[in-house]
Amino acid sequence: MNVHALLAVGVNSDGYREILGLHVTSAEDGAGWLGFFRDLTGRGLSGVALVTSDAHRGLVEAIGATPPGASWQRCRTHYAANLMAATPKSAWGWVKALLHSVYDQPDADAVHAQFDRILDALAEKLPAVAAHLDAARADILAFTAFPKAAWRQIWSNNPQERLNREIRRGTDMVGIFPDRTALVRLVGAVLAEQHDEWTEQRRYLGLDILAKSRLTKITNENLIDEEVTITAITA
């Protein structure tokens, strides 16, 4: 039977990336993701400020349920593909250019202003595309609540793609596993090696950026004394 390996990668309070957990489930649905998040929180994950992921329905619902106080950033790369699916192929080039211009702005106010200009530009020519973009506004612009120095690290799951490729390369070579334990053993070895490599590299986010993220993002008084982990989730 087919199974799914769910993976969580995070940035800890010292600014280093680390593997948070691996969960093998029969289906990539809400129950699978919810069970995974509950396991992470049960093992001590707390103070999560942001979760970055694609818009898989089960995943988004699980993020809303756990972890408490976390906002959600819809991966900009995945969203661009979703938007193109709603866009006539003849307009892909200029619609992509408009969308990318949102992320090239110097500050949060400029990002939102450019977003408004794009909606106005699309409303007449491509009303369905404009509606699609407008509905996703809060999800794809969540990164603007954090310092600009962190934007590239938190607005997409692209930093995890190399790790995903390594996992796929190993599982494709084996093809069929006798049981879930064998799968966890192989994928776990890849993750352990990556985890060790990250601990020896430079910080993924500087301590000054993390400090500013705490001041900018935390509004729930129950979270003020907790460490903030900016977490990216990928499947």
pLDDT tens track for 94-139: 999 999 999 999 999 999 999 999 999 999 999 999 999 999 999 9
pLDDT at 215: 65
pLDDT surpassing 50 at residue 145? yes
- Cα atoms in the 13 Å half-sphere on the side-chain side of 225: 1
Find the length of the chain. Answer: 235
Query: What's the pLDDT at 68?
Result: 80
Q: Describe the strand order of the beta sheet including 71-74 as a list of residue ranges.
A: 17-25, 4-11, 229-234, 48-53, 71-74
pTM: 0.86
Q: Could you give phi then psi for residue 71, rounded to 5 degrees?
A: -95, 170
Predicted confidence (pLDDT) per residue in 168-197, tens digit: 999 999 989 999 999 999 999 999 999 999
Given 3-state DSSP classes, what are the helix, strand and coil percentages for the chain, each rounded to the nearest 5? Answer: 60, 15, 25
How much of the chain, in percent, has pLDDT values that exceed 70? Answer: 91
pLDDT of 141 over the 60 cut:
yes
Spatial CA neighbour of 227 closest among 12, 43, 9 = 12
Residue whose pair of structure tokens reads 């939102």 in the numeric block: 112
Q: Classify residue 68 by its DSSP letter.
A: T
pLDDT digits (tens, 9 = 90+) for 17-38: 999 999 999 888 889 999 999 9
Tokens read off for 80: 């661009």
CB 166 within 8 A of CB 63: no
Q: From CA 72, how far away is CA 142, in angstroms rounded?
A: 7
Q: How far apart are the C-alpha atoms of 235 and 8, rounded to whole Å?
A: 8
Q: What's the one-letter identity of residue 188?
A: G
Q: What is the pLDDT of residues 186-234, one digit of tens each?
A: 999 999 999 999 999 999 999 999 988 876 544 444 433 334 444 544 4
